Amino acid sequence: MVSYDENGGYPHPDHIMAHKVAVEAFHAAGDPERYPGTGESWAPSKLYYDRAFSPDRFRALHFALEEAGLQSPYAERLASWLEADAEGHTPPRPMHQTTTQVDCGDYFEARDDALRAHRTQIDPLGFFFAVSPEMQRRAWPWEDYTLVHSVIPAELPEKDLFAGLR
Is residue 135 situated within a structural domain? yes
Q: Give Cα separations from 10 to 40, 53, 81, 95, 112 (angstroms).
A: 34, 7, 11, 11, 19
Is residue 165 situated within a structural domain? no
Is residue 144 situated within a structural domain? yes
Q: Give Cα separations from 14 to 19, 20, 52, 165 (angstroms).
A: 9, 10, 16, 30
Is residue 17 situated within a structural domain? yes
Is residue 8 situated within a structural domain? yes
Q: Is the pLDDT of residue 98 over 90?
A: yes
Q: Give the model's pLDDT for residue 76.
A: 83
Non-local CB neighbours of 61 within 8 Å, separated by 6+ positions: 72, 74, 130, 131, 135, 136, 139, 140
Question: What is the C-alpha separation between 52 and 59, in angstroms, rounded?
Answer: 12
Is residue 103 situated within a structural domain? yes
- Closest among 86, 134, 88 to 109, alpha carbons compared: 134
Domain range for 88 is: 2-150
* Interval 3-32: pLDDT, tens: 999 988 877 899 999 999 999 999 999 999
| Number of domains observed in the structure of the chain | 1
Is residue 26 situated within a structural domain? yes
- Per-residue pLDDT band for 86 (boundaries 50, 70, 90) equals low
Give this prediction's pTM.
0.87
Is residue 129 situated within a structural domain? yes
